[in-house]
Structure 1
Amino acid sequence: MTKNLLVELGLEELPAYVVTPSEKQLGEKMAAFLKDHRLDFESIQTFSTPRRLAVRVLGLADKQSDLTEDFKGPAKKIALDAEGNFTKAAQGFVRGKGLTTDDIEFREIKGEEYVYVTKQEAGQPAKEVLAGVPEVLNSLTFSVSMHWANNTFEYIRPVHTLTVLLGDEALDLDFLDIHSDRISRGHRFLGHETEVANADSYEEDLRQQFVIADAKERENIIVEQIKAIESQEKVQVDIDETLLNEVLNLVEYPTAFMGSFDEKYLEVPEEVLVTSMKNHQRYFVVRDQTGKLMPNFISVRNGNADCLENVIKGNEKVLVARLEDSEFFWHEDQKLKIADLVAKLDHVTFHEKIGSLSEHMERSGVIAAYLSEKAGLTREETQAVARAAQIYKFDLLTGMVGEFDELQGIMGEKYALLAGEEKAVAAAIREHYLPDSADGKLPETKIGAILALADKLDTLLSFFSVGLIPSGSNDPYALRRATQGIVRILDAFGWDIPMDELIDSLYSLSFDSLTYANKADVLDFIRARVEKIMGTDVPKDIREAALAGSTFVVSEMLATADALVAASQTENYKSAVESLSRVLNIADKADSSMVVDESLFENDHEKNLVAAIDELTLSGNADDKIAQLFALSPVIDAFFDNTMVMVEDEKIKNNRLALLAGLAEKTQTVAAFNQLNTK
């Protein structure tokens, strides 16, 4: 016989960003708990609102499955003494399993007998196992936690109720000084405490108290209400998924409504208005049928439609206050001069151990000039990069960015255009922040990409130079994100700039403000980001082989990893890799000063191999290069089958080592094939 189990934890309002991952975490940990304790179930449903996390287990068995487990003990010769009595070793073994020597049997394994005991454990009733539910709740992890009242423990938010129902029976449990019951709390203003009749009535019981416990149902309600407003008002609404998830985790009983603001604010740049509405007020943006921004917004109330006009007026009043600030800053900032703002950056600290923003920009400008040359930019593009590098942080001192820091770069572009800067320069000011997340949008222009690379490279090198190096999960200055941005930009634009040569060149630069240090750590950090981008779908040995290639060009390493994954599925992969690995391993013994003397060849296989090496151009893409190397496998195998490399004659030996070293050098530019696993 099976029953359904409900567990609900009632809390103070959770931060919106915590709700969805916590709901998922609760479901996963409850499933793991039940499996670990041998309690079978059919499926698990999860629920969440800002004030509760809940899980319902469907088809929970009424008791644990029985356990039968065999344990292997010491060998018979150790378990028995000369008289055939059980030794202390045997007695201690069975005692540790809660059994006696009467339970011992001997089983033969590979010609020798060993002690074995079988332990059988009857399954406990589900109610007894579920006494461990508080362990599940206590195992939830959060990015922040707090103390409350005089308690010594901490949790994400204060806990008010614990509801644990097995069918219609309330279980007697305790968690953080809260005793379980069948009581749950309704909507903070519209509802009240209510008894949950049984595990199956949970959603309906809460619905009567103006709580929609199912997050997906709340989301559907919000979307349907917005669609209804769209249809009624003949407008379009941007239903941003991230904003939608945040809003549904701010409300328990959603009611969407549309408000408005004065059309005069539409003179302010759209990005400012959208930021005010979306990021600060959690409003959905409204557009007309052509996509033009309208003086309206849609918000979602945590409650019903009663007195909705007052709610709309209140939201409009709050938004207008923000729009007034935006309009003021927009007009005031245009009175400022870029040159004056740039000069003031001398007094703005980039980091107390590194220096000012001006010094950071100066170093980035030098790096940008170097990159412009390496990337083959035209004279006009190089000049645009240089100009952008001189001013690109100026908007940090504008009133608008001071109020809305999300608009840094965006307002820089707009103010630069108003000041008469070239479009390419203005676009680069905006794009140098990209990508602003691990998988964020990349710069679209070469000028913006070069400036983004320069800014991120100086950031990376500067922080590493003063010892501010990320460790573990700690990365307060987002250096991993910056470095991943460097790698992604280089790959996207196909700039074949070897990272080791680039870093060497940057470390040779001289600045009054800072001396770069910890170069080896920087290179290792960049390699780690390249490996991260390769992803876990690429086997570890292939990632390591591609990263260990002698050509530290990001795009080539990424392409090589993908090509090796494809090649690993071919029939000749194992034999070809083993041939190349043999070359690389033996070539390590060669002296770099040795050269090949064909007059010392003693067989045709040496001649065939040197001819194949001379013809090896390693042209084309990564797939082509690997195919060319794999094609050498028969020639390499024939050489080794018929030629002893490490002979006594030093000249012959060194000549053959030099021959293999020449092939190894070319091979190593693609990948370290001797790091691939072919077993």
Structure 2
Amino acid sequence: MANDFLLEIGTEEIPAKFSPGAMKQIEEQASKRLAELRLNYKELQVYVTPRRLALLVRELQEKQEDLLTEVKGPAVKAAYDTNGSPTKAAQGFAKGQGVAVEDLFVQEVNAVPYVFARKSEMGVGTPALLPQFAQDLIQALHFPKPMRWGDLDFRFARPIRWIAALFGTDVVNFELVGLKSGRSSRGHRTLAGDEVVIGKASDYPETLRKAYVIVDPKERKEAIQTQIKALAENVGGEVPDDEELLEEVIHIVEYPTALLGEVAAKYMHLPEAVITTPMREHQRYFPVRSNDGKLLPYFITVRNGDAFALDIVKAGNEKVLKARLEDAAFYYREDQKIPLSELVAKLGKVVYHEKLGTVEQRVDRLRKVSRFIAEMLGFEGLRKEEIDRTAFLAKADLVTLMVSDFPELQGIMGADYARASGEKPEVCQGIYEHYQPRFAGDGLPVSEAGRVVSIADKLDAIVGAFGIGIQPTGSQDPYALRRQAQGIVAILLDSGWDFSLTELLKEAYRVFEEQGTSLLPIDNILLLLQDFFQQRLRFVLLEQGLRYDTVDAALAQGGDLLNRVVKKARTLSEKRTEEAFIPYSQAYTRCFNLTKKEPVQDLRVSLLADESELALEKGIALRKERFEKAQAEGTFEEAYKLAGELVPLIEALFQAVMIMVEDVDLKNNRLALLGECVKMLGCIGELSILA
């Protein structure tokens, strides 16, 4: 027999961003704890709305599975005497396990006979287990910013106001945070009465639906998408996919009703981002576009309620957006009265960080680091001028009225105002792009100016933060340093630029010093910074599907030239699947193991006597110039091919001579020869750490 089990945790409105994580936790915790309790079920369903978290377990069995276990006791020789009678050891073991001594049986473990007891544990009825299960589940949930309320020490996403718990038609009784569980829930805050009585667990979704609550977020999502599509088509438009906004809207409504609003024509001359940012970021509206992507004078919003008085709701939303756009239009007019370049001086009054100076000082650092990068890349003349101008103007829009009210538009407005001020298109594009990538999945800068200034901007933030002792720890990264380092790595890999990351870090640090900023000594943070970037590169390569040990083998030889590391890792990943790699890696391992504990010696050709030694040295010498050229150019496949040609010669050496002979000079010279082999065979990574 089986019955459905319901647990609903009723709360004050939960922030939308908490809901997806809470659903995942409930499913994971419930399945784990039910398995531990030996309770089988057909299906777990997790529901969430702004005012509730709910678990519905379909066809949960009414009794635990019986448990039959075999417990190992003492060895037979200790359990029985020479007459075959049970000893005190056997008697004590049997008593401890609650079985008769004559019920013990013998079973071998690793060819040694032991006595065992077979224990049977009867399953407990499910109703007796559910109260503790429910309490444990609620207490196991964690949230990014939990709250306490009243005089309780308990923390939760938001204060809990009711708990419903049913097994079939019966209430699962328990008490938590001063609340007693029951069969009462709450419907929609404005459309339903104060209390909704749930007759039985299986009726939960439909009972709440009658109270204007759609508990399944998937169902709410489908309803919202269908309504949005129909409304947009009515005006000849469409709403492009926006999963992030849709996910948020799903979790701020319990009974969705979409409505179409209009944007006053007089605001449509504003830049698109100025119109859509208040819509999306502030009001959670979906902008409507034509089939060719042009912004139309409409928006769609989703009401938490039914269609009653929808015209009034529509008018209210239009009024709110109008006020926002009126402000934006005023800001746009006023901002353009001053050329963007004249705003840079005002950045001296804006503090970037109390320990790192003003934004004006930061702009000075960006220009110097950007020029340094441009020189590393061999850029000259006009290209350098455009990069410098981009860095000079990159932060000017921070003191505009528009960005002060709509910070999401930084960079976007800078590019627009730069165009209005007559700046070159390359500079305008660079200003816009230097913030990219802003988030995971965002596009990368495509212009040279955008790429260079983006690297300089992110590098300044990272070196400055590390320099004043701010580093990401665990899940804590308040300055988004990981994302910024990830952005630098992505730009470098996408562009193919292969300059020294260490030199870049040192230059960024030097510019801080030049301004008189007090940072931790460079020796204290350089290794931390290098490792920080290596970890970001490691993450990128793992995301691309490379094996962890392949990535670690490539990084073990240093990650200063990121593109070289990537080429090396990809070459290793490809070659290790080939049959020829087996003897190659074995040769490397033998050479490496013999040389790793010995001091490095220079090879003395005059001491080579055996034909196998001479042949190997000649093989190395014939290939060395081509090998070093391949290494320098980063053509690791060619370097691997040349090194692989030494493998038969290395095998012949090991068959012909002993390396660790008593003659010290001979031993050291042979080790030096193996050391040369290690250098060549290790051209695609530290192979000794491969799993």
Deviation at 1:433, TM superposition (A): 1.2
Deviations 1:192-227 (A, max 9, x none): 222122222222211111111111111111111112
Q: What's the counterpart of residue 545 of structure 1?
A: 553
- Is 1:8 aligned to 2:11, yes or no? no
Q: What's the counterpart of residue 561 of structure 1?
A: 569
Contact 1:81-1:87 within 8 A present in 2 as well = no
Q: What's the counterpart of residue 442 of structure 2?
A: 440
Deviation at 1:166, TM superposition (A): 1.9
- Is 1:643 aligned to 2:657, yes or no? yes
Contact 1:6-1:163 within 8 A present in 2 as well = yes
Q: What's the counterpart of residue 634 of structure 1?
A: 648
- TM-score w.r.t. structure 1 length? 0.93
Q: What's the counterpart of residue 176 of structure 1?
A: 177
Secondary structure of 2:669's counterpart equals helix
- 1:384-395 mapped onto 2 (5 Å cutoff): 384-395=386-397
Secondary structure of 1:181's counterpart equals coil
Quick one: distance in 2 between partners of 1:354 and 1:91? 75
Quick one: distance in 1 between partners of 2:357 and 2:687? 44
Worse overlay, 140-149 or 352-361? 352-361
- 1:494-505 mapped onto 2 (5 Å cutoff): 494-504=496-506
Secondary structure of 2:332's counterpart equals helix
Quick one: distance in 2 between partners of 1:562 and 1:211? 52
Quick one: distance in 2 between partners of 1:20 and 1:524? 32
Contact 2:612-2:656 within 8 A present in 1 as well = no
Q: 1:654 aligns with which of 645, 648, 668?
A: 668
Deviation at 1:557, TM superposition (A): 2.0
Secondary structure of 2:268's counterpart equals helix
- 1:331-350 mapped onto 2 (5 Å cutoff): 331-350=333-352
- Amino acid in the other structure paired with 2:590: R
Contact 1:86-1:101 within 8 A present in 2 as well = no
Deviation at 1:331, TM superposition (A): 0.9
Quick one: distance in 2 between partners of 1:664 and 1:81? 62
Distance 1:79 1:327, change over 3 A: farther
Contact 1:583-1:660 within 8 A present in 2 as well = yes
Contact 2:445-2:451 within 8 A present in 1 as well = yes
- Is 1:48 aligned to 2:53, yes or no? no
Distance 1:601 1:506, change over 3 A: farther
Worse overlay, 387-396 or 104-113? 104-113
Distance 1:661 1:329, change over 3 A: same
Distance 1:347 1:10, change over 3 A: same
Quick one: distance in 1 between partners of 2:213 and 2:161? 16
Worse overlay, 459-468 or 103-112? 103-112
- Is 1:186 aligned to 2:191, yes or no? no
Distance 1:98 1:189, change over 3 A: farther
Distance 1:87 1:342, change over 3 A: farther
Deviations 1:272-298 (A, max 9, x none): 111010111000101234322122111
Q: What's the counterpart of residue 515 of structure 2?
A: 512
Deviations 1:494-537 (A, max 9, x none): 11223345445555665133356211111111111112222275
Indicate the percent of aligned positions where both proteins have the same amino acid: 36
Quick one: distance in 2 between partners of 1:150 and 1:465? 42
Quick one: distance in 1 between partners of 2:462 and 2:123? 57
Q: 1:295 aligns with which of 286, 294, 297?
A: 297
Quick one: distance in 1 between partners of 2:249 and 2:559? 48
Worse overlay, 243-252 or 351-360? 351-360
Deviation at 1:250, TM superposition (A): 1.1
Quick one: distance in 2 between partners of 1:79 and 1:383? 90
Worse overlay, 521-530 or 229-238? 229-238
- Amino acid in the other structure paired with 1:36: E
Quick one: distance in 2 between partners of 1:46 and 1:372? 54
Deviation at 1:95, TM superposition (A): 7.1
Contact 2:501-2:560 within 8 A present in 1 as well = yes
Worse overlay, 180-189 or 162-171? 162-171
- TM-score w.r.t. structure 2 length? 0.91
- 1:99-114 mapped onto 2 (5 Å cutoff): 104-114=104-114
Quick one: distance in 1 between partners of 2:308 and 2:343? 50
Quick one: distance in 1 between partners of 2:257 and 2:606? 86
Q: What's the counterpart of residue 22 of structure 2?
A: 22
Distance 1:349 1:583, change over 3 A: farther
Quick one: distance in 1 between partners of 2:673 and 2:95? 66
Quick one: distance in 1 between partners of 2:65 and 2:260? 56
Quick one: distance in 2 between partners of 1:98 and 1:621? 71
Contact 1:69-1:118 within 8 A present in 2 as well = yes
- Amino acid in the other structure paired with 1:545: A
- Is 1:462 aligned to 2:461, yes or no? no
- Amino acid in the other structure paired with 1:135: D
Q: 1:246 aligns with which of 245, 248, 271?
A: 248
Q: What's the counterpart of residue 373 of structure 2?
A: 371
Aligned length: 676
C-alpha RMSD over aligned residues: 2.7
Secondary structure of 1:236's counterpart equals coil
Contact 1:613-1:662 within 8 A present in 2 as well = no
Secondary structure of 2:229's counterpart equals helix
- Amino acid in the other structure paired with 1:603: E
Quick one: distance in 2 between partners of 1:614 and 1:498? 30
Deviations 1:25-77 (A, max 9, x none): 21221111111111111221221211111122122222111112223345456
Distance 1:586 1:432, change over 3 A: farther
- Amino acid in the other structure paired with 1:546: A
Deviation at 1:231, TM superposition (A): 2.6
- Amino acid in the other structure paired with 2:689: Q
Q: What's the counterpart of residue 427 of structure 1?
A: 429
Contact 1:550-1:668 within 8 A present in 2 as well = no
Q: What's the counterpart of residue 66 of structure 2?
A: 66
- Amino acid in the other structure paired with 1:51: R
Q: 1:580 aligns with which of 585, 588, 603?
A: 588
Contact 2:418-2:428 within 8 A present in 1 as well = yes
Worse overlay, 661-670 or 436-445? 661-670
Deviation at 1:79, TM superposition (A): 6.2
- Is 1:523 aligned to 2:527, yes or no? no
Worse overlay, 120-129 or 568-577? 568-577
- Amino acid in the other structure paired with 1:543: V
Quick one: distance in 1 between partners of 2:72 and 2:571? 47
Distance 1:7 1:337, change over 3 A: same
Secondary structure of 2:70's counterpart equals strand
Contact 1:394-1:412 within 8 A present in 2 as well = yes
- Is 1:356 aligned to 2:358, yes or no? yes
Distance 1:497 1:81, change over 3 A: farther
**Unpaired runs of at least 5, structure 1:** none
Deviation at 1:639, TM superposition (A): 2.2
Q: What's the counterpart of residue 154 of structure 1?
A: 155
Q: 2:685 aligns with which of 660, 665, 671?
A: 671
Worse overlay, 153-162 or 601-610? 601-610
Deviation at 1:190, TM superposition (A): 0.7
Deviation at 1:324, TM superposition (A): 0.9
Quick one: distance in 2 between partners of 1:593 and 1:443? 48
- 1:290-329 mapped onto 2 (5 Å cutoff): 290-329=292-331
Distance 1:438 1:663, change over 3 A: farther
Quick one: distance in 2 between partners of 1:566 and 1:64? 51
Secondary structure of 2:120's counterpart equals strand
Quick one: distance in 2 between partners of 1:275 and 1:243? 12
Quick one: distance in 1 between partners of 2:397 and 2:145? 33
Secondary structure of 2:142's counterpart equals coil
Quick one: distance in 1 between partners of 2:685 and 2:618? 21
Contact 1:70-1:119 within 8 A present in 2 as well = yes
- Amino acid in the other structure paired with 1:533: V
Q: What's the counterpart of residue 145 of structure 1?
A: 146
Contact 1:567-1:573 within 8 A present in 2 as well = yes
Worse overlay, 213-222 or 573-582? 573-582
- 1:126-275 mapped onto 2 (5 Å cutoff): 126-131=126-131, 132-192=133-193, 193-275=195-277
Quick one: distance in 1 between partners of 2:597 and 2:204? 73
Quick one: distance in 1 between partners of 2:676 and 2:506? 25
Distance 1:102 1:475, change over 3 A: farther
Quick one: distance in 2 between partners of 1:99 and 1:434? 70
